[in-house]
Amino acid sequence: MNGIQTIRRGDTVTKVDRTGKGAVLCMRGILRAMRAVGQACHAGADPDFQQELRAALARIDRFIADNAPDGAVPSRDGTTEPEQRPGAVCGRDAEAMYEALRTGGAAGLRAQFDDLLSIPREPVMNPCL
């Protein structure tokens, strides 16, 4: 697919997103982590933003299913997220990332993911941040 570079070094193959939109699998991982922070550390706060986090994850999963060479969506390790103690996910760095993402509110998050998913391409992990 257009915009994806394949780099081979020995037996290692790395695919890199060169579209400028971002690595979809990387952003999926970050968004899943931010959803966990929201659930554990901000339960009941910003319901519109929390809903948009869930919607963004669903959109990413659809994008992956539509664009992955094998059509597979990476496993979520079951249908529910494991329950975690708030202290396990509410660290300073995670909170800072959550607050940075939340700054634009639900509309800002939606716009960010509209841009990320605007070009059909193979979902890859690199470059990740």
Note the pLDDT tens digit of each residue in 39-58. Answer: 999 998 989 999 999 999 99
Q: Is 0.85 surpassed by the pTM of this model?
A: no
* E strand or H helix at 112: helix 105-116
The upper half-sphere exposure of residue 88, i.e. CA atoms within 13 Å in the direction of its Cβ, equals 8
Q: Calculate ∠ Cα 60-89-129, nearest 5°.
A: 50
pLDDT digits (tens, 9 = 90+) for 81-98: 444 555 568 999 999 999
